[in-house]
């Protein structure tokens, strides 16, 4: 069943919608949740919540790619979980580790700049376009999917050393890109 047919099931409020979606994308959602959460139970609950969120939002949402839509729901829910947990104990979670690395790219605040979502999306898409496919894959696996460098190395048939080198260089490129776009004082 393709995404269009699955979304139609959601619109028809068919009971088959969740079963078919779980069949097709359950493992993918679990992959995303597992990268971010270090607890299997949290991961399972997160995936269930993501499917529930999809049921509650389609319609009126009509995603072109159900896979991408579910990925975002799962990721956002998983990040909310670790944010809540981080409030209770200090760092080391996947998001915090990614933030620590991205601190290299950060620039002084520019209060006069309106950083709305549309502008940010345009910025990141333009930056990603400047990267080779390999670089983009490794970058997004690290900072979107929050995969560890070891996992990225295994999935991309690279050494861990190569992954870390590539990430370090891409972060430098991002910083340069943001500077050239005027995000520094």
Residue 182: partners with Cβ closer than 8 Å, 6 or more residues away: 110, 113
Residue 44 or 101 having the CB closest to other proteins: 101
- Asked whether the beta carbons of 137 and 127 are under 8 A apart, the reply is no
Q: Which stretch binds other proteins (CB under 8 A): 14-22, 44-52, 86-94, 106-114?
A: 106-114
Quick one: which of 37, 54, 73, 166 contacts other proteins (CB under 8 A)?
166
CA distance 75 to 46: 9
Of 51, 52, 34, 35, which is closest to residue 43 (Cα–Cα)?
34
Examine residue 27 and tell whether it contacts other proteins (CB under 8 A).
Answer: no
Among 8, 28, 30, 45, binds other proteins (CB under 8 A): 28
Q: With contact defined as beta carbons under 8 Å apart, do 79 and 73 qualify?
A: no
CB closer to other proteins, 1 vs 107: 107
Rounded CA separation 124/78 (Å): 22
Per-residue binding letters, 60-99, with other proteins (x by CB under 8 A): ----xx-xx--xx--xx------------------x--xx
Residue whose CB is less far from other proteins, 17 or 29? 29
């Amino acid at each position: 069943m393709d995404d269009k047919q699955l979304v139609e099931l959601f619109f028809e409020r068919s009971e088959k919608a969740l079963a078919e979606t779980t069949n097709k994308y359950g493992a993918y959602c679990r992959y995303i949740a597992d990268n971010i959460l270090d607890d299997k139970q949290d991961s399972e609950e997160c995936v269930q919540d993501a499917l529930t969120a999809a049921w509650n939002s389609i319609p009126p949402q009509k995603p072109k790619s159900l896979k991408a839509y579910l990925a975002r729901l799962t990721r956002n829910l998983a990040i909310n979980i670790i944010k809540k947990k981080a409030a209770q104990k200090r760092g080391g979670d996947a998001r915090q580790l990614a933030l620590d690395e991205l601190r290299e790219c950060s620039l002084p605040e520019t209060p006069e700049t309106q950083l709305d979502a549309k502008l940010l999306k345009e910025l990141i898409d333009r930056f990603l376009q400047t990267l080779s496919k390999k670089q983009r894959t490794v970058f997004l696996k690290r900072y979107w999917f929050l995969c560890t460098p070891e996992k990225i190395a295994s999935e991309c048939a690279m050494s861990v050393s190569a992954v870390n080198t590539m990430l370090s260089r891409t972060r430098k490129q991002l910083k340069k890109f943001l500077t050239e776009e005027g995000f520094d004082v």
